[in-house]
A and B are shown apart, each in its own frame.
Chain A
Amino acid sequence: MASPAIDKKGEQAQMENQPAALSAQGTSGQGTDNRAAERPVALAFDNVGMQFPDGTIALENVTLHIRQGEFVSVVGPSGCGKSTLLKIASGLVPQTSGTVSVDRNNLGYTFQDATLLPWRKVLGNVELLMELRGYPAAERRRIAMEQIALVGLSGFENHYPKRLSGGMKMRASLARSLALNPSVFMFDEPFGALDEITRERLNDELISLYVRKGFTGLFITHSIPEAVYMSSKVVVMSRRPGRILKTFDVPFGFPRSPELRYDAAFSALCGEISISLRQAIEG
């Protein structure tokens, strides 16, 4: 009776350990992008402020322009309004002052949890957003299978979420967003709940998805190395009320290889950001 369960676990473990379907070996390779400055702005916050009904000011005068194809990470103390920034950009919560400009019809959004619907299998979950957008069934199925393969979940289409590991749930969640082929992709601490090995693997997979699809990314995280590894730009926010304290350009090109994590320049940049974040926390 116990054996199928064990087999399943074994399968999952194997799944996590096999080389990622999309390691950061990369395809075209954007390299350091000199033309980034000429690209149009895909997501702009101008003097955005947010005050909650209880009077708390979550954000104050946030101005941040993200150009098409940029990948920007935001780090900051807990409760500084990082997630609120995403909710405002996506329209889940309207800001109380300032303006936001973005194409909301073409947004990807990944939550802190995978937020898979537990009564749908992986395939049904990946199809969900297309279903809500009214894609025809056959096209939905085709695109969903592609995305599932892309995130390395082939063979798990008919598994219910409760039988997946945390990393696999997050992959399914990514596939669900990717299915709409978003031009702006927002990530709200997507890998925060995962162990470090799974997290680094998913970082690599996300980078190769980014290189391949060329979306604009806004990534919220608590981890400085993750922010630096993933991004072309890292933004440090102050503690509440959240303001932008400092912006760091990340000079490394895409695609990135895991060795970058052991590079001296990488560590130096992490150190600089860490000092700045410490100042943010101490006020």
Chain B
Amino acid sequence: MTDTTNMSVQLYQPVPLPKPQGPLTRAILRVLPPLVVAGLLILLYAWVRAQLEPHRQFLMPSGYELWANAFSLPQVWAELGSRSLVTISIALSGLAISIPLGMLTGLVMYRYFILERGLLPNIVALQAIPMLAVIPLIQTALGFGFLPKVLIVAKMTFFAIPTTFLLGLKSVDRGALDLFKLQNASWWTTLWKCALPSSAPALFAGLRISASMAVVGAIVSELFFLAGKGGLGQMIINSKIDFKYEQMYAALIASTVLSVSVYLFFSWLGNYLFSEWHESGGKQG
């Protein structure tokens, strides 16, 4: 018999379901947290600025100064616009090289294991070379035009593409591959109808990383190439030389917006392509 003398029976009350949130509450809960954090960051900025000696406060322009000396001036907007175009065209041209090249590299590594052995360590090593250390060499070799900047972006955005693509290709469901094998499907058919769609979400994770790196890469490349009419990076350096720090901040903000936009575009594209069927997709059940 079970000994019941030490039993201590307790009563547990039911827990009613929480009230469902209205659409307004949900919208507020979505928008408010990032706004609050952004507000705190701005407060921190203002606080740090207040700690600076007055003759150094130009390093951190106030909101009013930013408006008065940059964002209220049509010529600053015009400059931001035209320079953004230059920067984005460098970034996208770089991606136009790194994406196909990266996919091709991922593909040959998938097809021939011996190439994976040979290439992958070298791709990792390539990624480990500090970019800034190579830029002077690129300048000497290729001059100061459009092409060297594009190549810098291509190098900076390359790594994530073959690595994520290869991971995706190697994670294709064994059973699905057997299914194709049982029908004597060719390697290309299997690639096209099975491995490629299956690895696309992984590839897009890599593309998102590369896309957000592309604008950063374009701006870094421009910091070293000041000849001719350049992009936002050049504007940053020029405003420093001209002591127009408000415009430097304007260029900084513009490059951030640009970078986030490219990232958001690739996120949206990935979501648009895969949300219906991929487990990570938005629509459930």
Contact = CB atoms under 8 A, between A and B. Distances in A.
Contact of B180 (A120, A132, A161, A163): A132
A120 B277 CA distance: 8
Contacts of B178: 92, 109, 111, 115
A128 B189 CA distance: 12
Interface in A108-130: 109, 111-113, 115, 117-120, 128-129
Contacts, number: 57
A7 to B, nearest CB: 10
Interface in B196-242: 197-198
A111 B180 CA distance: 13
Interface in B172-195: 173, 175-176, 178-183, 185, 189, 193-194
B271 to A, nearest CB: 14
Contact of A117 (B181, B194, B281, B284): B194
Contacts of B277: 118-120, 160-162
A35 interface: no
Main SS at interface, chain B: helix
A9 B284 CA distance: 11
Contact of B278 (A113, A118, A120): A118
B14 interface: no
B279 A90 contact: no
A145 interface: no
B285 interface: yes
A161 B178 CA distance: 19
Contacts of A91: 182
Contacts of B181: 92
A120 B197 CA distance: 10
Contacts of A162: 277-279, 281
A91 B284 CA distance: 38
B284 A5 contact: yes
B71 to A, nearest CB: 39
Interface in A57-87: none
B30 to A, nearest CB: 14
A160 B193 CA distance: 16
Interface in A156-172: 160-163
Given A115-B173, A131-B193, 13 more contacts: A5-B284, A91-B182, A92-B182, A109-B178, A111-B178, A111-B179, A112-B175, A117-B176, A119-B274, A132-B180, A132-B193, A133-B183, A162-B278
Top 3 A-B pairs, shortest CB-CB distance: A115-B175, A5-B285, A132-B183
24 contacts: A5-B284, A90-B182, A91-B182, A92-B178, A92-B182, A109-B178, A109-B179, A112-B175, A113-B175, A115-B178, A117-B176, A118-B278, A118-B279, A119-B274, A128-B193, A129-B179, A131-B193, A132-B185, A160-B276, A160-B277, A161-B277, A162-B277, A162-B278, A162-B279
